[in-house]
Amino acid sequence: MLGFDIDDGRLEAVAREYAATPKQVELSQGRALKRTAGTLRRLSSKGLKSELGLRNATALRRRIKDYRVGKGGNALKLWYGANDLPVSAFKGRPQPVTGGVKFGSTMIHGAFFARLGGRRLVMQRHGSKRWQIGEATLPVADRMMIYLEDEVFVDIDSIYFKHFLAEVRARTILGVG
């Protein structure tokens, strides 16, 4: 779990500069937090799509959730589902080889092709019973976490401050909210 602390001194300086009331500052912080979560979701789904080589970002969007936590909802928790993704979510064409299926540089032992709903899927047996088969999956957790830590979460302070500044300006100068 990664934790980030926002510099209260910078926030108070902006509040003094725009002569914001404590209520306006509180509302601006909540809205800035919500907007920061949306920005992080957008940056991470767009970046992970290209990093992992996915066909589309739908599988990722379902796996990114944000929660408001703490008293007054002044903290944010981002949850990323890092379970293995099915082979059909990735770009590329699997090739049948002896002993399984090869997808890119990954060999999936014991996998086979099957038509399901008009789609050609890479399936794999998960047990010894008759119907214990499912789509083959590829691990993404390590690559996902490395990308998020190195590319997305490094700018979280500047993203939050930019949103906070815009919110304070809108509430004080323009009278929004």
Residues 129-151 pLDDT 10s: 888 999 999 999 999 999 999 99
Q: Does 69 share its domain with 111?
A: no
Residues 4-59 pLDDT 10s: 777 888 989 999 999 999 999 999 999 999 999 999 999 999 999 999 999 999 98
Q: Does 117 share its domain with 73?
A: no
Q: Does 62 share its domain with 121?
A: no
Q: Does 104 share its domain with 76?
A: no
What pLDDT, on a 0 to 100 scale, did the predictor assign at position 176? 81
Cα distances (angstroms) measured from residue 25 to each of 14, 31, 110, 171: 9, 10, 59, 9
Q: Does 66 share its domain with 131?
A: no
Asked whether the CA dihedral 127, 128, 133, 137 is positive or negative, the reply is positive
Domain that holds residue 99: 87-138
Q: Does 32 share its domain with 76?
A: yes
Q: Does the residue 3 lie in any domain? A: no
Q: Does 13 share its domain with 71?
A: yes
Q: Does 114 share its domain with 96?
A: yes
Q: What is the pTM of this model?
A: 0.85
How many C-beta atoms lie closer than 10 Å to residue 29's C-beta? 20
Q: Does 35 share its domain with 71?
A: yes
Q: Does 147 share its domain with 132?
A: no
What pLDDT, on a 0 to 100 scale, did the predictor assign at position 2? 64
What pLDDT, on a 0 to 100 scale, did the predictor assign at position 155? 87
Mean pLDDT, rounded, for 74-95? 91
